Chain A
Amino acid sequence: MDGVRVGNRMIGTTAPVIVGWDNIGTVEGGPIKQFVFRWFQPTMLFALIAFWYYAPNSIAKTSTAIGIGIGFKVMLLALEWVNPRYESWSLTWKELVTDLFYVSLGYTVLAMIERYIGSDAVIEAVQHSFDWSKLAWFIGLPLLLQAFLISFIFDFGQYWMHRGMHNWYPLWLPHSVHHYITQFNINKGAVGNPVELFLIGIGIGGFFDFLPRAALLAGAMGLAVGTYQHINVRFNSPRWWRFLFNTTEHHSVHHSQDFEASRSNFAGTYIFIDRMFGTCVDGEAELLGLEGGRRMSIREQMTYPFTEGWKAIKARWGKAGSSEPLVVPAE
């Protein structure tokens, strides 16, 4: 495969990747369908922002956000059925059950662990020792600016964490499991080794039913943009949306079987962070995964980082002749 030059890199030399917005697929159907799948994402974003901006204090709380998040995902699940991006990504019973198993971990086991040693414990510590007067300058900013700053700073951190996962073997091991998915569906974002899910704080965090309104707005921005990362829906998103925000097309390039393409589009919400650091590739891919698209079982996903980590330790410090790790990040 020849590949396409993007900056200093050749994309699509080892697996097919479509580069450029003019070359990707578009929504097929009448004018109403075209309209809906062009404006759905911006409409939902502005609707969610308006809701959290004006919601009375009595309902502007985390439990409401969790309820909206679940309802939104169910709606997107229906959209996958109505207008799939690739038939080869159709949701089967097995895929649905597997995805929901990982979702259930987030709501049960991981939520319990986070309560004691994860993000919930951190939030509790912050809330207990929070001196509101010291943050008055921030709380006094316009609400939407506060929300954007929270969301952007969080995503900026996630960008470097994610990029680090693709560049440093100990972090790559727990993250690599997520890259064994061979198709996109709305709940695929939850698929991964629990160590990684814990590291990036996917736990639900519903224990504390109070968060500042700006944080809830920031969460809504993440929900209305980041949720689409793993969706199997064909959108004709407006150009400005694709310039600013991470899309399922961007993320499919990141999950591509092409090694160089998989080292692109690290941001979760704001793709312009990738544009800032030269890691953005506009396009899409259908063939996803590692090792030529081998689907990993749940059992292997649970043990893989540890078994591969052990192999790597033995290879470096153990007796000679140990096997090399299968999947190694570059740099």
Chain B
Amino acid sequence: MTGLMRPGPFSPAFSSHPNATPDGKAVHTRFIEWIWHITGSLALTPEQASKAFDRLAPLFHQPGTSHETSGDTLTFHKKDPASQDKMSVFNSGVLRIENAQDGPVLRYRLVSRALLYCFLAPLMFLAFAQVTVAIGKLEGASKDAAAEKPKEKDVVLPQNPIDRFLGAPAPEKPKKKKGDDEDKKPSPTASYVFAALFAALYVAGRLLEDWLAKRLFRKSLSEA
């Protein structure tokens, strides 16, 4: 193992950072990266540290996944991973074994575009809600200008005797109620509901995937 005692993933000198430029300088998106980057660390025993990448390797032997180990660093990329891939939520990542004061540590930084898009989804739905409201206003203006339609005639609808015998309610045409035209305006409610739903899903996913990644690495490392 080489390169122990290197700076951690939060350090500017963590040159294998997925957003690093070719000359090794990290792009200054650090303050918002937590949205779609999952970072963490796991304490290793010296025995685990020596075999860590061998034990983690099966996680990267998946369709659509490429990985490369260089000394104490493993980098991986995924393209269209299968739904059954346990790390399918991540597109790329860097795992590094470092020698901390208390012993060897596995540090990782995993990048998930799914988390990013889920974070942005509420904004998209809020924007669509505003478009819906604007269309409703436009439609309202054009309807006011239109002439009133003639009243529909009352029609008695037939009902089969079997249904009458079995007690089904008699059919009727809906009566025109005040405010019906208002109800027919496009409603932004669905957009607001989905904005809230995706916001909640983001929070749940950010916490869940963080926990699942750590659990997956811990389990793989402890397997003999």
By a beta-carbon cutoff of 8 Å, the part of chain A in contact with chain B is 53-57, 60, 88, 92-98, 100-101, 104, 107-109, 111-112, 115, 132-133, 136, 139-143, 182-183, 207, 209-210, 212-213, 292-298, 300
Q: Are A107 and B190 in contact (CB under 8 A)?
A: yes
**Can you sample 19 A-B contacts with CB below 8 Å?**
A54-B169, A57-B171, A92-B83, A93-B204, A93-B205, A94-B83, A94-B114, A97-B201, A100-B197, A108-B132, A132-B155, A136-B158, A142-B162, A210-B173, A213-B168, A293-B63, A295-B80, A295-B82, A296-B80
Contact across chains for A140 and B82 when beta carbons are under 8 A apart: no
For A88, list chain B residues within 8 Å (CB): 84
Given A53-B166, A108-B191, A142-B160; 20 other pairs, CB 8 A cutoff: A54-B167, A54-B168, A93-B201, A93-B208, A93-B209, A94-B83, A94-B89, A94-B114, A94-B205, A96-B201, A100-B198, A104-B190, A104-B194, A107-B194, A108-B190, A132-B157, A139-B171, A143-B168, A207-B186, A293-B63
Summed over the interface, the residue pairs from A and B with CB atoms below 8 Å come to a total of 108
Interface pair A57/B172, CB less than 8 Å apart: yes
Query: What distance in Å separates the Cβ of A115 from its nearest Cβ neighbour in chain B?
Result: 7
Q: CA separation between A132 and B204, bound complex, in Å? A: 51
Q: Which residue of B lies closest to A181 (CB)?
A: B83
Interface residue ranges of B165-212 to A (CB < 8 Å): 166-169, 171-174, 183-184, 186, 190-191, 194, 197-198, 201, 204-205, 208-209
In the complex, A56→B163 CA distance in Å? Answer: 14
**Is the pair A100, B201 in contact by a Cβ cutoff of 8 Å?**
yes
The answer on a CB contact under 8 Å between B168 and A210 is: no
B positions within 8 Å CB-CB of A = 63-64, 80-84, 88-89, 114, 117-118, 121, 125, 128, 132, 135, 155, 157-160, 162-163, 166-169, 171-174, 183-184, 186, 190-191, 194, 197-198, 201, 204-205, 208-209
| Interface pair B128/A108, CB less than 8 Å apart | yes
Q: How far is the CB of A75 from chain B (nearest CB, A)?
A: 17
A94–B209 alpha-carbon span in the complex (Å)? 9
B142 to chain A, nearest CB (A): 13
Which residues of A lie under 8 Å from residue B169 when comparing CB positions?
54-57, 60, 213
A53 close to B89 (CB less than 8 A):
no
Contact assessment for A294 and B135 in the assembled complex, using a CB-CB cutoff below 8 Å: no
The answer on a CB contact under 8 Å between A295 and B81 is yes
Contacts of B163 in A (CB 8 A): 142-143
The answer on a CB contact under 8 Å between B83 and A295 is yes
Q: B128 near A109 (CB under 8 angstroms)?
A: yes
Q: Shortest beta-carbon distance, A88 to chain B, in Å?
A: 5
B160 contact from A60, A92, A93, A141, Cβ within 8 A: A141
Residues in B neighbouring A295, C-beta threshold 8 A: 64, 80-83, 88
Query: How far, in angstroms, from A141 to B159 measured CA to CA in the complex?
Result: 8
Residues of B within 8 A of A94 (CB): 83, 88-89, 114, 205
Q: How far is the CA of A97 from the CA of B168 in the complex (A)?
A: 41
Minimum CB–CB distance for A117 against chain B, Å? 14
Chain A, Cβ-Cβ closest to B180: A209
Among B63, B84, B198, B208, the residue within 8 A (CB) of A294 is B63
Q: Which residues of A contact B172 (CB under 8 A)?
A: 57
Q: Which of B135, B174, B204 has the most CB of A within 10 A?
A: B174
Contact A95–B83 (Cβ < 8 Å): yes
Report how far A96 CA is from B172 CA in the complex, Å: 41
Q: Are A108 and B84 in contact (CB under 8 A)?
A: no
User: Contact between B89 and A93 (Cβ–Cβ < 8 Å)?
Assistant: yes
Residue from A53, A139, A295 with most neighbouring chain B CB atoms (10 Å): A295
Q: Are A293 and B186 in contact (CB under 8 A)?
A: no
Q: How far is the CA of A56 from the CA of B171 in the complex (A)?
A: 10
**How far apart are B8's CB and chain A's nearest CB, in angstroms?**
27
- A265: min CB distance to chain B, Å: 22
**Residues of chain B within 8 A of A136, CB atoms compared:** 158
Taking the closest CB of chain A, its distance from the CB of B50, in whole angstroms, is 32
In the bound complex, residues from chain A placing their C-beta under 8 Å from that of B125 are 104, 108
Query: Which of the residues B84, B117, B159, B205 comes within 8 Å of A183, measured between beta carbons?
Result: B84
Give every chain B residue within 8 A of A133 (Cβ-Cβ): 155
Nearest chain B CB to A219's CB is how many angstroms away? 16
A97 and B186 contacting across the interface, CB-CB below 8 Å: no
A288 to B219, CA, bound (A): 28
Q: Which residue of A lies closest to B155 (CB)?
A: A132
Task: Pick the 3 closest A-B CB pairs, nearest first.
Answer: A107-B190, A140-B158, A104-B194
Which B residues are in CB contact (< 8 Å) with A108? 125, 128, 132, 190-191, 194
A111 to B132, CA, bound (A): 11
Give the Cβ gap from A81 to chain B, nearest Cβ, in Å.
15
Question: Which residues of the other chain, B, contact A107 by a CB distance below 8 angstroms?
Answer: 190, 194
Residues of B within 8 A of A297 (CB): 80
- Is the Cβ of B80 less than 8 Å from the Cβ of A209? no
- B197 — nearest CB in chain A belongs to which residue? A100
